[in-house]
Amino acid sequence: MKIGIPKEIKNNESRVGMTPAGVFELTKKNHTVFIQTTAGEGSGFFDKDYQEVGAIILATIEEVYSKSEMIVKVKEPIALEYPLIKENQIVFTYFHFASSEPLTKAMIKSKSVCIAYETVEDEEGTLPLLTPMSEVAGRMAVQQGAKYLEKPIKGRGILLGGVPGVAPGKVLILGAGVVGVQAAKMAAGLGAHVTIMDINMKRLRYVNDVLPNHVTTAFSSEYSIRQLIKTHDLIIGGVLVKGGKAPKLITRDMLKEMRPGTVLVDVAVDQGGCFETTKATTHEDPTYIINDVVHYCVANMPGAVPYTSTIALTNVTLAYILKLANLGWEKACESDLSLSKGLNIVKGEIMYKELEGIFG
């Protein structure tokens, strides 16, 4: 199959859909891989790295789309790319259709085969192509939170790990899913005192089993959140209600209970956020302050660490890409139920139930 990797053109997106290691696996199976020049540079991969494993470098995005039977990307196509997508072309990437009517209508019109990373689902009901980005965001949440706790950027002026003779900072994590556990691991590693909350006791038992003793678990309720926010320095939101908006666990009035300079990191911002005062921010201007409380609400946190994120993403997409390339999309989806759940729009028809009727 002819596979094309365009350069991402969405604002501030430096990830790329395939690493040289992925190209190596595809060319070994006699597939042809086209990659747009400099597409991998933001992630630390250069044209010569791709050429060495057999990729063909193309000068323009138009050439990549026109020569390829399958396009592999990271972010959803933006308006400039809509006219480049052809009938019957497979497009394998994050789409997040429910949040964009123009994208949904453009892909229906294109008659392409849109397979969305975010809806590929394994037997346990987890989303294998979303997990690595939650892992990145969970770990980054602590890194960012620790930075914004510094005084010059309006934080409380606390070193999370403390020093001998001075108590460490306190981190409260809402949600003990992928984001929450990774955040807890990082915060505990820094030496902070960590409390992690969930409404799912199985998750709390898991955390209790695998994380060190200075990570405390707590059942999440409004009462317990109201108590804990008074004494914690960094609060990380990582809750998810599948298919729904995040519940607002911290309301505007609760900010008054926090100490000035407390830092809130809302990782769940992409699902509307779990703090009432959350509004999405960007890497250029990541924070804002309300009632002396610092808010960090960047919706694409993994985009700031493209080297790590590209490798983490392509580690999990490659097996599916190989299957699609070797068998074609129909046979690949017939033989792999997880992959078939990624089919969102096929040749003008909506295949993903949750999308039906959303935009009339």
- List residues forming the annotated binding site: 15, 75, 134, 198, 203, 220, 239-240, 267-270, 298-301
Is 176 a binding residue for ligand NAD by CB under 6 A? The answer is yes
- Nearer CB in complex with ligand NAD: 179/343: 179
- Nearer CB in complex with ligand NAD: 81/135: 135
**CA–CA distance from 92 to each of 115, 152, 185, 313 (Å)?**
5, 43, 32, 13
Is 301 a binding residue for ligand NAD by CB under 6 A? The answer is yes
Taking CB under 6 A as the criterion, the residue among 174, 207, 294, 324 binding ligand NAD is 174
CA–CA distance, 216 with 211 (Å, rounded to integer): 9
Is 142 a binding residue for ligand NAD by CB under 6 A? The answer is no
* Segment near ligand NAD (CB under 6 A); pick from 75-83, 262-270, 321-329, 351-359: 262-270
**CA–CA distance from 226 to each of 229, 239, 248 (Å)?**
6, 17, 13
Name the E strands within 129-241: 170-174, 193-198, 215-219, 234-237
Task: Provide CB contacts within 8 A for 78, sequence distance 6+.
Answer: 9, 10
Taking CB under 6 A as the criterion, the residue among 177, 261, 286, 342 binding ligand NAD is 177
Is 263 a binding residue for ligand NAD by CB under 6 A? The answer is no
- Strand-pair partners of 219: 198
Is 118 a binding residue for ligand NAD by CB under 6 A? The answer is no
Largest CA distance in the chain: 67
* Segment near ligand NAD (CB under 6 A); pick from 16-24, 144-152, 210-218, 238-246: 238-246
Radius of gyration of the CA atoms of the chain, in A: 22
* Segment near ligand NAD (CB under 6 A); pick from 3-11, 67-75, 97-105, 265-273: 265-273
- Nearer CB in complex with ligand NAD: 268/345: 268
Looking at 49, 96, 122, 292, which residue is catalytic? 96
Q: Are 65 and 85 in contact (CB under 8 A)?
A: yes
Is 271 a binding residue for ligand NAD by CB under 6 A? The answer is yes
CB of 292 to ligand NAD, least distance (A): 23
For ligand NAD, the nearest residue by Cβ is: 177
Q: Are 291 and 255 in contact (CB under 8 A)?
A: yes
Which region, left, alpha or beta, applies to residue 188 given φ > 0 means left and ψ of -120 to 50 means alpha?
Answer: alpha
- Residues of the binding site for NAD(+): 134, 198, 203, 220, 239-240, 267-270, 298-301
CA–CA distance, 11 with 320 (Å, rounded to integer): 27
Is 61 a binding residue for ligand NAD by CB under 6 A? The answer is no
- Nearer CB in complex with ligand NAD: 4/175: 175
Q: What is the DSSP letter of 78?
A: P
Is 96 assigned a catalytic role? yes
Is 195 a binding residue for ligand NAD by CB under 6 A? The answer is no
Total residues at the site for ligand NAD (CB under 6 A)? 32
CA–CA distance, 29 with 32 (Å, rounded to integer): 9
CB of 80 to ligand NAD, least distance (A): 23
Question: One-letter amino acid identity for 133?
Answer: M
Is 98 a binding residue for ligand NAD by CB under 6 A? The answer is no
Q: Are 359 and 131 in contact (CB under 8 A)?
A: no
What is the token pair recorded at 337?
């139920």
**CA–CA distance from 234 to each of 147, 182, 231, 266 (Å)?**
11, 15, 10, 11
| Mode of pairing for the β-strands spanning 293-296 and 263-266 | parallel
Taking CB under 6 A as the criterion, the residue among 9, 153, 241, 289 binding ligand NAD is 241
Is 214 assigned a catalytic role? no
Annotated catalytic residues are 96, 270
- In the complex, the residues that contact ligand NAD under the rule CB under 6 A are 133-134, 137, 174-180, 197-200, 203, 220, 238-241, 246-247, 249, 267-271, 299-302
